[in-house]
C-alpha cells in the first residue's frame, strides 16, 4: 500500500457523514454500511440541494437562448468546466469536454481518435486489469480497422509487469489505454512512468480515471497524459455526467463523435463545419442540471481536500485489509503495494453472490460479481469476487461491521 500524506486534524468523519442523507438510513433493520462507492458514491445535501434549486428556480437551456435564465444557466454550466479544469490542473478550460460518463469518454476517443488515426495492422495496448469500458470500445475499433489489441500482463499481486509493457510498445502502437486505479482489485498503476515510456516512442496515452479522480489529487500536466476520463457519479456528483480531458492538438485533430445541434459552426446540405473544441464534441442539449450538480460536488470534495480524502481512505484500506486478513477462509484478490481503498475478496466455499446477499441482510452493501472486469476474474481464476470499496465518509466501525457480517456468513455456511 502506498504512503499517503497526513490527515488534517480538522478532518471529522462524523461531521462529513451528516452531509449524506442516505448514510443515516437503515437497510434490513440494520444501520446501512455503504461499502460500494466504487460502483457509485453517495450524494451530499449540497449537490442534491443545488440541483433542486436549479430545477425549481433557475431551469433553462444553455448556450442557445439569450434570455436571462439561459444566460445564468450557461454561466453556471461553464463554471463547472472551469472547476473541472482546476481540479485536473488542465492548462485551458476548452480541454474539458462534458460526456455522459467514463464509458462515453473512452468511446468518444476510440471513435474520434481511433477511426481517424488507427489503421490495419496498427496496435492498441490496454492492461489485463481494465474495466470493460476500457476494453470493448478498443476491441470494436480493432475489429473494424483490422488492428490488434495487445494486453499488458499483471503479476499475482495485481501489478502491471512494466518490462512486458515496454516490449509491447512499437512503431505500430497508436495508443495505450490504462486505468489509473483498477476497479476490480484496487491497484494504483504507475501511469506517469507508463506515459513517459509511451511518449518516448511517440504513442498517445489515455488514462481511465474513473476510480482515481474522486479519491486523489490528479494533475494532468504532471502526468502528461493525452486523455483523462472520469465519471461524475463516483465523485459525489449526479449520474449521466462525465469528463474527458484532452490535449489541444489531438482534440483539434480528432473527428467529432456525435453530430447534431451546438457542435457545428455552419451547416448546409452540402457541407458542415464544426465548432471549436470543446463544443465540437458536445452535440445536443447537454445534461445541464447534472453538469451544475457536478460543479457543486467538486467544490464539496475540494472543501474536504483531496489529500485528506486520500489519507483517510488509505487508513480505511489498511484497517480493512487487517480485519479481513484475520478472518480464516477469506482471501483478498489484489495485494499490490500501491492500492486504492478497494478490497476484493472471496470466502472459501461460498459463492460471492451469496456473500453479497448475506452481507446485505446485515445492512452491509458491497458489490458481488465480476465488476465489469471479466478478464481480471479470469486472470485470478475466480468467476467473481465480493468487493468492499471505501469512501471518505466511511468509518473503521463500519469495517468492523463488515468483519462481523463476514464471520456470520461463514457460520451460516459452516
- Which residues are at the interface with ligand C6P (CB under 6 A)? 38-39, 101-103, 131, 133-134, 179, 183, 208, 210-211, 231, 367, 371-372
Q: How far is the CB of 226 from ligand C6P (least distance, A)?
A: 17
Can the peptide bond before residue 278 be classed as cis, meaning omega within 30 degrees of 0? yes
Q: Which is nearer to ligand C6P, 113 or 274 (CB)?
A: 113
Q: How far is the CB of 192 from ligand C6P (least distance, A)?
A: 18
Maximum Cα–Cα distance across the chain? 72
Catalytic residue among 142, 225, 236, 372: 372
Q: What are phi and psi of 210, to 5 degrees?
A: -55, -40
Q: Which is nearer to ligand C6P, 158 or 179 (CB)?
A: 179
372 in catalytic set: yes
Q: Which is nearer to ligand C6P, 122 or 379 (CB)?
A: 379
Q: How far is the CB of 406 from ligand C6P (least distance, A)?
A: 20
Q: How far is the CB of 100 from ligand C6P (least distance, A)?
A: 7
Strands lying side by side in the sheet with 330-333: 330-333, 342-347, 385-389, 367-369
Q: Which is nearer to ligand C6P, 88 or 410 (CB)?
A: 88
User: CA torsion sign, 52 to 54 to 56 to 60?
Assistant: negative
Residue 367 C-alpha cell reads as: 458489490
Q: Which is nearer to ligand C6P, 274 or 393 (CB)?
A: 393
Q: How far is the CB of 30 from ligand C6P (least distance, A)?
A: 23
The three-point CA angle 400-320-362 to 5° equals 40
Query: In a 10 Å sphere around its CB, with 0-12 CB exposed, 13-18 middle and 19+ buried, how is residue 315 labelled?
Result: middle
CA gap 162, 173 in Å, rounded: 16
**3-state SS assignment for residue 204:** strand
Q: How far is the CB of 360 from ligand C6P (least distance, A)?
A: 16
CA gap 304, 325 in Å, rounded: 30
Identify whether the C-beta of residue 102 lies closer than 8 Å to the C-beta of residue 133: yes
Q: Which is nearer to ligand C6P, 74 or 103 (CB)?
A: 103
Residue in 13, 391, 34, 92 with CA at minimum distance from that of residue 214? 391
For residue 123, the number of C-alpha atoms closer than 13 Å in the C-beta half-sphere is 14
Q: Which residue is nearest to ligand C6P (CB)?
A: 183
| Catalytically active residues, by annotation | 372
Amino acid at each position: 500500500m502506498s504512503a499517503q500524506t497526513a490527515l488534517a486534524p480538522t478532518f471529522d468523519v462524523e461531521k462529513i457523514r451528516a452531509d449524506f442523507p442516505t448514510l443515516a438510513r437503515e437497510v434490513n433493520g440494520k444501520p446501512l454500511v455503504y461499502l460500494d462507492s466504487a460502483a457509485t458514491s453517495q450524494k451530499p445535501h449540497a449537490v442534491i440541494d443545488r440541483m433542486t434549486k436549479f430545477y425549481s428556480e433557475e431551469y433553462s437551456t444553455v448556450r442557445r437562448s439569450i434570455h436571462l435564465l439561459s444566460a445564468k444557466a450557461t454561466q453556471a454550466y461553464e463554471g463547472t468546466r472551469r472547476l473541472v479544469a482546476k481540479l485536473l490542473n488542465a492548462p485551458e478550460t476548452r480541454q474539458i469536454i462534458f460526456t455522459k460518463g467514463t464509458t462515453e469518454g473512452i468511446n468518444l476517443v476510440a471513435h474520434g481518435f481511433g477511426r481517424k488515426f488507427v489503421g490495419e495492422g496498427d496496435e492498441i495496448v490496454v492492461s489485463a486489469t481494465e474495466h470493460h469500458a476500457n476494453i470493448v470500445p478498443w476491441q470494436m475499433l480493432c475489429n473494424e480497422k483490422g488492428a490488434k489489441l495487445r494486453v499488458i500482463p499483471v503479476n499475482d499481486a495485481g501489478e502491471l509487469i512494466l518490462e512486458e509493457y515496454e516490449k509491447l510498445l512499437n512503431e505500430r502502437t497508436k495508443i495505450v489505454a490504462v486505468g489509473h486505479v483498477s476497479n476490480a482489485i484496487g491497484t494504483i498503476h504507475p501511469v506517469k512512468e507508463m506515459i513517459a515510456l509511451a511518449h518516448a516512442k511517440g504513442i498517445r496515452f489515455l488514462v481511465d480515471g474513473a476510480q482515481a479522480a474522486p479519491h486523489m489529487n490528479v494533475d494532468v500536466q504532471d502526468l502528461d497524459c493525452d486523455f483523462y476520463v472520469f465519471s461524475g457519479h463516483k465523485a459525489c456528483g449526479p449520474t449521466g455526467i462525465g469528463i474527458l480531458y484532452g490535449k489541444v492538438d489531438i482534440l483539434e485533430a480528432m473527428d467529432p463523435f456525435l453530430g447534431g445541434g451546438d457542435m457545428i459552426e455552419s451547416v448546409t446540405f452540402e457541407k458542415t463545419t464544426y465548432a471549436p473544441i470543446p463544443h465540437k464534441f458536445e452535440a445536443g442539449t447537454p445534461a445541464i442540471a447534472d453538469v451544475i450538480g457536478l460543479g457543486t460536488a467538486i467544490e464539496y470534495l475540494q472543501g474536504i481536500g483531496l489529500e485528506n480524502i486520500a489519507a483517510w481512505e488509505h487508513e480505511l484500506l489498511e484497517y480493512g485489509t487487517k480485519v479481513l486478513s484475520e478472518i480464516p477462509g477469506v482471501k483478498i484478490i489484489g495485494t499490490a503495494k500501491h492500492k486504492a481503498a478497494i478490497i476484493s475478496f472471496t470466502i472459501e466455499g461460498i459463492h460471492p453472490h451469496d456473500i453479497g446477499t448475506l452481507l446485505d441482510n446485515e445492512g452491509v452493501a458491497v458489490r458481488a460479481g465480476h465488476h465489469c472486469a471479466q478478464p481480471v476474474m479470469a486472470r485470478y481464476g475466480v468467476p467473481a469476487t465480493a468487493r468492499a470499496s471505501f469512501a471518505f465518509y466511511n468509518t473503521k466501525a463500519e469495517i468492523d461491521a463488515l468483519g462481523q457480517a463476514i464471520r456470520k456468513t461463514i457460520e451460516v455456511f459452516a
